[in-house]
Amino acid sequence: MKILKGFFVYANVDTNEGRGPSFQLPYLFSTRTDAELFVTSIYYAHRYGVQGKIGSPEYDVKEENIIIFERGEDSLKIIKDTDVENIKKRAMDKLTYEEKEALGLV
């Protein structure tokens, strides 16, 4: 498993008024500078910009981690280790002391 940092570019679904949700474009950049150059380009403005305007590097470029799995089993390990434990903890936090006692958890 490898974890890489990358910069994704986002655009608004509603190119007329910009009131829709954002969606991730199929572009990934290794540096913020390259992603910002793309967002402020004429290509981005004509294809994805609201009313044909260039994008905002502040809002349309986001840094995210990319996880590359060597095997499918690795992805299941991460899900088991993090999500399941968090779900259990949140569920337990919702129970009162009496409910935990009735379930035999204390």
Whether 51 has a pLDDT exceeding 80, the answer reads: yes
Map 62-89 to HEC letters.
Answer: EEEEEEECCCHHHHHHHHHHHHHHHHHH
Whether 54 has a pLDDT exceeding 90, the answer reads: no
- Answer left, alpha or beta for residue 44, where phi above 0 means left and psi between -120 and 50 means alpha: alpha
Computed on alpha carbons and rounded to an integer, the radius of gyration of the chain in Å comes to 21
- Answer left, alpha or beta for residue 18, where phi above 0 means left and psi between -120 and 50 means alpha: left
Whether 82 has a pLDDT exceeding 70, the answer reads: no
> Which percentage of the chain shows pLDDT scores above 70?
93
pLDDT tens for residues 8-20?
A: 999 988 888 888 8
Neighbour tally for 20: CB within 10 Å: 13
Whether 66 has a pLDDT exceeding 70, the answer reads: yes
